[in-house]
Amino acid sequence: MKSAEGRGRTLDEAVDVALITLGESRRNVDVKILSESSEETHVEVTVIDAAAGSGTGRTAGDADAAKEIVGQLLARMGIRCQVSSRTTSEAIVVDVSGRDLGVLIGWRGETLRALQTMTNLLASRRLAPDQRVIVDVERYRQRRENTVREIAYRAARQVKVTGDPITLDAMQPFERRAIHLALEADPDVMTVSIGEEPERRVVVGPRRNQQEG
């Protein structure tokens, strides 16, 4: 993964320095704070989903292979469901639908995350290295993205009122990405990811005017 370091008087400035080096936007990166003092903030900015966004050739055969892998996994688990697949600009998406599939989602999607990890491990033997498979059950990801966007908007409103940053609960990568995308165009707040998996979190804070100070 591509990464670059940045330094600035504020977190916002430090991130911008690294983004210029990488030629990326905030929507495509995670930020790690390396050090922070009253005079300078030092960050490491890493590009996320670089391969997924590259638009490499995904074929119907790849989608069918991913669908078959998930179908076989679920059959061995004794899960009765329907499995379909489609391709997007980011990845191959395998959709699972049926009744009483909450067991496949688990607490905050942890079981679904494990299923997706297993799917990608098996898919790596049949698909190109840069092919990524996303598994979704009963449109859980879409519903969860809608939920975290609402969390983002509420956090942004509070930050604007108080002027204080808010650290959200630990989230999965796709949830953090939804937060970043929801607030990237807001001129008054900024978002960064901090911490290590699986406790990585998004901080929503005020966007400081670079002319200040």
pLDDT in tens, 174-193: 899 899 989 988 999 999 98
pLDDT tens readout for residues 20-76: 787 777 666 777 888 888 788 888 888 775 444 444 455 667 888 889 999 999 998
Tell me: do 159 and 196 sit in the same domain: yes
- Tell me which residue range forms the domain holding 128: 54-138
The dihedrals phi and psi of 182, each to the nearest 5 degrees, come to -65, -35
What is the rounded distance in angstroms from the CA atom of residue 177 to the CA atom of residue 135? 17
The residue type found at 139 is R
Beta strand pairing status for 92-97 and 133-137? parallel
Phi then psi for residue 95, to 5 deg, are: -100, 130
Find, among 135, 61, 123, the residue nearest to 97 by Cα. 135
Report how far residue 85's alpha carbon sits from residue 93's, in angstroms, rounded to the nearest whole number.
Answer: 6
Residue 79 phi, psi dihedral angles, 5° rounding:
-90, 125
- Shared-domain flag, residues 122 and 192: no
39, 61: one domain = no
Q: Is residue 194 one of the residues assigned to a domain? A: yes
Residue 211 included in any domain: no
What's the CATH code of the domain at 150? 3.30.1370.50
Among 79-88, 147-156, 166-175, which range has the highest average pLDDT? Answer: 147-156
**DSSP β-bridge partners for residue 45:** 4, 31
Taking only the tens place, the pLDDT of each residue in 113-140 is 889 888 888 888 887 767 788 899 988 8
Q: Check whether residue 23 and residue 35 sit in a common domain.
A: yes
pTM (2 d.p.) = 0.61
